[in-house]
Structure 1
């Protein structure tokens, strides 16, 4: 049984209240949808490194893109390569800009173990995702008239190799964690996301949310622990 705890905190930059995971101090408060991502697609021991984020995107690829869940959730039906590449872009942009890390903070450590290639079709998706990321990153981050601003290091071949290696590792871990990705997406991720979001809108600052999920039979229980009053549980 997977158990993840969150607390409702104020995100002053975004101007809303969201679920902040208690198992990763560096994560910002988020919506119920983000809480589901943090609970299922991140590892419990994650500390917020960019390498861990790429592994989480590998699990996202397997759990939500390959299952078709992303198309169910959104009216915009993008190819998997574009969806994955856009998510890589937004993740690295957040580090590059919002966290103020610049190019140096976006250079990933290579994996210690050799990253074997995925199946040809999966590698095609991954290569397409990298092409989309590269085509957008410099355009979004280079200042006017700047020819050498450091963004090239982020999209350098060696960094792209590291990004792909970490995504592959997450993808393989996602397949082990969620062998039935369709069932896990619709019977785990979806009820967690929608249930946590409904609760976010009526909970008070300081309230806790406990997500309990069985990865084998896809049973989900959400527990609301208010600052005042008794906790209550409900099946999502």
Structure 2
């Protein structure tokens, strides 16, 4: 079962239909995902439909397509461009109260400096107007079929936050697999590249912390080597 990047997902039968069961241990994140899915379905976004909600689990419709991280690189570029336009459409959806908290960038910087990561130009860019954000807009949470995007899944981190931060995180992460991806996504969204790049060091610090706390040691070593060559001004 490959719908989304979350591990606790499986196919189950429910009233004669095959649906997706997503098991969740955090009630707050489960509530956030249900709230986001129901709201965005009514807004016409391509998201799974909530079929049933149970303690520790959500049942939802199975969406067609394969994850974008399983698509060939050249085809993936076109889909990333499309995904950036879809991300902008999400950010233009009317804000919704009751979602989860936005990322705490001051805490990320403090933790990174305390952990002794390689020097980075860590400053928080001036905030823009808060928008409806997915929270983890990556190629593992985007589905595509026939050369078109079919769904966005895994909404447990949905929040009201800085739209350029979210675009930057998605574009920076995609560029680690293919450097062309950054410009493709920024152009597809219609943003100022300089404003988007201003967030990159924050994402690098956040990823470094993730690897240092939970990731394989070889991933941390590789990223540490990359960050040591980051220009610090």
Q: Assess same fold via TM > 0.5.
A: no
Greater RCO, 1 or 2 (C-alpha within 8 Å, sep 6+): 1
Quick check: which one's helix share is greater? 1
- TM-score if structure 2 supplies the norm length? 0.30
